[in-house]
Chain A
């Protein structure tokens, strides 16, 4: 388990880590657009169930000194937020009726 991306306590979420532990909003948004609803529903169900524990876990560290595995857990929470619109609202990856419109996030807080 040495190459695990997430903390031990969250090994049940490890199967989502490679695809969804992404550092920037732009990457997470692109991942959403290219993912199936089944994939996003699976992530949503699994991470929602552990979200409260994940926030408690991450809150043990100062934001600017997060160990890598806790940082990955944070990124998984960001991805949960990212897929919540397709899953809860749109029923599809893309915002309906928005054709070619895009709104790029060029500066965001790190982490």
Chain B
């Protein structure tokens, strides 16, 4: 018996016309398909690379390694305060411009200009070439022709996005669409206490997205993380989301919550009671000073409300918790069966030791769950690659997984069609 009403068609899957037949996961094991994804998706979509708080001052910069697009990008706040992006390559003979010690590691800092380590060419924060060593030795060289190669860069709600296309088909706001941009006035900027996790994962990037866009697995895979007095009834009930939303290539799942402080003590871990915190966040919530709750939040009007997880195509997730904090996920592919996972938690900065300890338990809980999720993926990837099976039934609580793979396929098909049109 469903706890939450389904759409009139009887299921979310049929409501969004995603087909109910078993699904292929060939798109997650084929190296050829991955080569297409590089071009069709990661060199065309807007990609989130961080937040404006990571560039606190003019001259602040960080680099982002984009193995999936075989490039590295510098993100910098220029002298006028504008956020810009450039390919991280020197115009002289192609050395990587900004790096420390290890060329493949990301770096960040503050600088008045960028100086190439190889022959000392210099670039201003706006990308223009400002100095060429022994300029008189060169032939008809005009520095004005040798600025850094710009990358399209725009900011929405403090999130910095880049687009590697020569001419993006949509601007950032168009790309994000009404469902995501409805979060615009959520107070992301107040939540500047940042916890950044990274993990290499031996699985296709879409498998991890799938793991975090369905909660069907949660009462089972994570059962041991809650006392049996809570995990047993949770398993018996199973998981149901009150709302799934789809807008263009993007998705959202919203969940009902619980007030942990109303649970019986035998349904909580002692440390949760002691710190008044847990996976869902601190129990004593900061005031987020909502002037007006963003229209896109808690679409099912749940009370208590658990979370909204916005899956922004292709590889970016903003997950907003009912308990007044948020986190982001990024999945950066490196091969058909490898990617780098990044998780970033954001809280209103703790003002007291007690608040800080509550954050410590929320963050550690995230890590304990994340470990379980990540290891399951390796186990899945290897067996998908065995190709013993080629069709997999997905339930209605897995509707968003279906949508991700469908959209991925559509972008790849569009790209292939355009390629063949060019050839003709």
B417 to chain A, nearest CB (A): 39
In the bound complex, residues from chain A placing their C-beta under 8 Å from that of B198 are 103-104, 106
Contact with B along A24-62 (1 / 0, CB 8 A): 010000000000000000000000100110010011010
Do the beta carbons of A103 and B356 come within 8 Å of each other?
Answer: no
Chain B binding site: helix, strand, loop or mixed by DSSP?
helix
Q: Which residue in B197, B352, B353 is a CB contact (below 8 Å) of A103?
A: B197
Do the beta carbons of A103 and B271 come within 8 Å of each other?
Answer: no
Complex Cα gap A67–B372 (Å): 38
Q: A88-B271, A105-B367 are in contact. Are A97 and B372 (CB under 8 A)?
A: yes
Do the beta carbons of A101 and B371 come within 8 Å of each other?
Answer: yes
Complex Cα gap A102–B370 (Å): 9
Complex Cα gap A47–B190 (Å): 33
Do the beta carbons of A107 and B364 come within 8 Å of each other?
Answer: no
Count, chain A residues at interface, CB 8 A:
37
Q: A98-B372, A109-B359 are in contact. Are A104 and B199 (CB under 8 A)?
A: yes
B307 to chain A, nearest CB (A): 20
B208 to chain A, nearest CB (A): 12
Q: Which residue in A81, A88, A96, A104 is a CB contact (below 8 Å) of B357?
A: A81
Q: List 30 A-B contacts (CB under 8 A).
A: A25-B364, A48-B274, A55-B353, A59-B352, A59-B354, A63-B350, A63-B351, A63-B356, A70-B353, A74-B356, A80-B271, A81-B361, A82-B364, A85-B364, A88-B270, A88-B271, A89-B224, A95-B368, A98-B375, A101-B378, A103-B343, A103-B370, A104-B197, A105-B196, A105-B363, A106-B198, A107-B195, A107-B196, A108-B196, A109-B193
Spell out B's residues near A (CB within 8 Å): 193-199, 201, 224-225, 269-271, 274-275, 341, 343, 349-354, 356-357, 359-361, 363-364, 367-368, 370-372, 374-375, 378
